[in-house]
Amino acid sequence: MTDLSVPFRERAGRALDDHFLQEALTIATTKFIELRREAFGSFPEGDALRDRARAIKEATLQRLDAHLERLIDRVEALGGHVHFARTAAEAREIILGIAKRTGARMAVKSKSMATEEIDLNEALEHAGVTPVETDLGEYIIQLAHEKPSHIIAPAIHKTKGQVAELFTRVLGRPAEPDPEALTRIARAELREKFLQADLGITGANFAVAETGTVVLVTNEGNGRMITSLPRVHVAVMGVEKVVPSMTDLMVFLAILARSATGQKLSVYTTMVQGPRRADELEGPDEFHLVLLDNGRIRQLAGTLREALSCLRCGACLNVCPVYRQIGGHAYGYTYPGPIGILLTAMLNGNAAVRDLAHASSLCGACLDACPVRIDIPRMLIALRKENVEAGRAPAAERSAFGAFARLLRHPALYRAAAPLARVLQRPLARGRRIRRLPLFFGAWTRTRDLPVVAPRTFSERWRALERER
Amino acid sequence: MTTRAEFLGEIRREMAKTPGAFPATPALRPARPAEVAETIRRELAERWPETLERFRQEFERVGGVFYRVGSIDAVPGVVGRIAREREARRLVAWHPSALGRDLVPPLRSEGLDGEAMPPGALDDPRARQALRERIAAADLGLTGVDLAIAETGSLVLVSGAGRPRSTSLLPPYHVAVFDRTALVESLAQVGVLLEAWHAGEAPAGRGAAINVITGPSRTADIELTLTRGVHGPKEVHAIFVEAPWRG
Ligand code: SF4
């Protein structure tokens, strides 16, 4: 593996540790790939279930209006409230309205890409509501004021030493660099927040139309905490997350965790049907479901329709040679990796991905790994074409990413190119990051810094190690 | 703000533009889920030993601790041992009506400081708050089980009257008691039972949350090191009782 494009991420002036990120990414993605392979290897019905799952998604999209109507009716009949957000701004407004009306001062959140997509945390803070991320990885990066680097392992870029330092500094709790001790500290800190918070905000992995059930899948139990303790629960979900029935849901549950982490099921699958019932001791008094469009609906008939079937399992990230090189941050948007490029185009428009659409070698590994067999390469090509037709893709950038992709396909070529790149980048690099690249990558680095090619690439180091042995 | 009609109207406009990617249908649901559920139960009544063995294997694989006892009367002894080994004292349990037996008195004899949950909601917010604090301070949570899934080693717990959601969530040790009537083989069978449970009106006392629990709470968010008990329990124990104790 190489250090060609590790994104810069430490803003506090501390030393970069790109080698750690690179190695962490390699180890994490390799481990996830192995776990996934094992999980499906011992699951002969897996292939048929994947086909089934995709067919259910497609069938649901074909009658999306009817399934959503059913979902809305059921949630309302159960005493829940349903809201409709065409845009991120509208979704924020709805949620802030609920926070204000209920007098919430703190909101506990369970890992939710949808709320990240709408930049909810900033909006909450602005309105005087403290958002607290409760997924351990998300909590760590929230304390560090950073962004997630992986859908499934958001803080994969941080060492235990960095986490210990962070906890000591921000929480004022002297912490040892030991994952178990650090987890205990986070448990204690977050336990208090769960017990205090008036408002709980989650995404939804699925929503079952027939029963009005919102389904949350977590390993840590934060989804359970939020659906048990705060007075008000708001679930934010993209319209495409609806599935018709409980029978359909089981098909997805059987493949989701296997694809994400190799587990047969994640530790907790939480299914909630509206607010607490009359003779229940716990559960929210108020339940709100926010149905989010934000660019999804127009894709029903668009180039990216297939991407509406995505389960956000992260499998396509792990197998992607580009993601494995550059990590989640370099993509610069909420959703990284191959599917992230498509979702970014869906949410922010094609222009947002005129460069990103080329951050793929079109090797097809994502399609093979995807539990619902989303043909990501096909849509990436379509996006490139549309952007070219709209006169949006300067040839220089295209060829730069193309060259990168070619390098990835030809290790020998890459090994030859890396030393050259180190020489060529010298005039551009200030310290350890490249502020602005002229020529090919100009537009790409306008919004993000690119770290310099590491003094030695992993493949060079690996060869050196081999010699030493 | 966008209204329901506007929102769905927009969806219909876009849907009208395309026939879809390929002809497809959702999964075939059982027409009479209650009957299919009954058939599953009948078949499992004969096959339960194999199902239990598979459950045990899978449950242990995900980090659960399995026990088998002859009757419900042996349960307090097992719970007492679990507690003593962990220096745990305070226990919260489902209400006897939900558990099928009042185990608090025999648990007290085991040296445990036990409390049964109230049979329903508490109207007084202060009483509710005080109870929540006691649940949060408890070391052990004792619950029943609605389904035990052999394929995945999972325990399914439905919330409701006398069975608060946090009993199996806040204490660091969760102990669940079940018998053969809870056993199912597969997620597909769980699908049928969920269809059956949701057909028609919810019975009195049924809560709004169903949790499928597959082992102890876990995370690998720091350097991919597997760590237990981040928000939920760090240990899950399942006690199988050979003789069903509910009528
Ligand atoms: S595109 Fe497929 S593999 Fe990638 S996150 Fe979505 S469901 Fe998983």
Q: Give the pLDDT mean for A101-120.
A: 94
- pLDDT tens, A279-310? 999 999 999 999 999 999 999 999 999 999 99
- Cα A270 from Cα A266, distance rounded (Å): 10
Preferred mutation among A162, A242, A246, A272 to probe B, highest tally of B CBs within 10 A: A246
**Residue A427 reports pLDDT greater than 50:** no
CA distance B76 to B81: 9
End-to-end Cα, chain B, rounded Å: 54
- Which residues pair with residue B240 across a beta bridge? B68, B178
**The predicted structure's pLDDT at residue B114:** 96
Contacts B188 to A, Cβ<8 Å: 250
* CATH number for the domain that contains residue A166: 3.40.50.10420
Contact residues on chain B for A346, CB-CB shorter than 8 A: none
Q: How much is the average pLDDT of B88-108?
A: 97
Separation of alpha carbons B212 and A254, rounded Å: 13
ipTM: 0.97
Q: Note down the domain range covering A150.
A: 8-297
A246, A202, A205, A210: which is closest to A228 by C-alpha? Answer: A202
- Is the pLDDT at A437 greater than 80? The verdict is no
Atom of ligand 1 nearest to the CA of A373: 2
Please list the alpha-helical segments (H only) found in A197-289. 222-228, 246-260
Three-state DSSP state, B128: helix
Amino acid at A279: D
Non-local (6+) Cβ contacts of A280 within 8 A are B120, B121, B159, B160, B161, B164, B165, B207, B208
Residue B20 lies in a domain: no
CATH number at residue B230: 3.40.50.10420
Domain finish residue from A262, A282, A297 = A297
Count of domains forming chain A? 2
Helix and strand numbers, DSSP H then E, in chain A: 20, 13
How far apart (Å, rounded) are the C-alpha atoms in residues A60 and A66? Answer: 9
Ligand 1 center–CA A29 separation, angstroms:
14
Residue B15 falls inside a structural domain: no
Q: What is the pLDDT of residue B215?
A: 98
* Mean pLDDT, residues A319-348 taken together: 90
Final residue belonging to a domain, choices A268, A297, A326: A297
Q: What is the pLDDT of residue A461?
A: 32
Is residue A400 a part of any domain in this protein? no
Mean pLDDT of B143-161: 98
Residue A416 placed within a domain: yes
What are A232-267's pLDDT values in tens digits?
Answer: 999 999 999 999 999 999 999 999 999 999 999 999
What are the pLDDT digits (tens) for A140-184? 999 999 888 788 888 888 889 999 999 999 999 999 999 999 999
The yes-or-no verdict on residue B103 having pLDDT over 80 is: yes
Across residues A31-54, what is the average pLDDT? 95
Both tokens assigned to A78? 């159960």
Query: In the structure, what pLDDT confidence band is assigned to residue A405 with cuts at 50, 70 and 90?
Result: low
Enter the pTM of the model: 0.88
| A440 neighbors A421 (Cβ within 8 angstroms) | no
CA distance B25 to B58: 32
Domain termination site, one of A267, A297, A327 = A297
The mean pLDDT of A129-146, rounded to a whole number, is 95
Q: Tokens representing B174?
A: 């969760």
pLDDT at A458 > cutoff 70? no
Flag whether B25 is in a domain.
no
Residue B212: is its pLDDT beyond 60? yes
Does the pLDDT value for residue B161 go beyond 60? yes
State chain A's mean pLDDT as an integer. 83
The Cα of B242 is separated from the nearest Cα of chain A by a number of Å equal to 26
Give all strands of the β-sheet with A232-238 in edge-to-edge order.
A81-85, A286-292, A232-238, A199-202, A106-109, A130-133
Which of chain B's residues have a Cβ under 8 Å away from the Cβ of A276? 121, 207-208
What separation in Å is there between the alpha carbon of A318 and the centre of ligand 1? 10
Strands (E), B71-205: 90-93, 113-116, 140-143, 147-149, 154-160, 173-178, 183-184
- Residue A395's pLDDT band (cuts 50, 70, 90): very low
pLDDT value for A431: 39
- Average pLDDT taken over every residue of chain B: 96
Residue A79 lies in a domain: yes
CB contact under 8 A, A220 and B231: yes
- Check whether A334 has a pLDDT greater than 90: no
Q: How confident is the model at residue B247 (pLDDT cuts 50, 70, 90)?
A: low
Q: Looking at the domain assignment, is residue A198 inside a domain?
A: yes
pLDDT at A14 over 80: no
Backbone torsions φ then ψ of B76, nearest 5 degrees: -55, -35
The SS3 of residue A58 is helix
Tell me the residue range of the domain where B205 lies. Answer: 33-241
d(CA B194, CA B190): 6
Length of chain A: 469
pLDDT-above-90 percentage for chain B: 91
**What's the pLDDT score for residue A151?**
80
Q: For residue A307, which of A254, A365, A346, A352 has the smallest C-alpha distance?
A: A346
CA distance A401 to chain B (A): 30
What average pLDDT does range B228-244 have in this prediction? 97
* Cβ-proximal residues to A212 (8 Å cutoff; 6+ apart), any chain: A71, A73, A74, A75, A77, A78, A80, A273, A274
Phi-psi region of B92 (alpha: psi -120 to 50; beta: other; left: phi over 0): beta
The arithmetic mean of pLDDT across residues A34-61, rounded, is 95
Instruction: Indicate whether B192 pLDDT > 50.
Output: yes
- For residue A13, is it within any domain? yes
- Assigned domain for B7 exists: no
Q: How far apart are CA A415 and CA A152, in angstroms?
A: 30
Element (H, E) at A130: strand A130-133
Q: How far apart, in whole angstroms, are the C-alpha atoms of residue A250 and residue A136?
A: 27
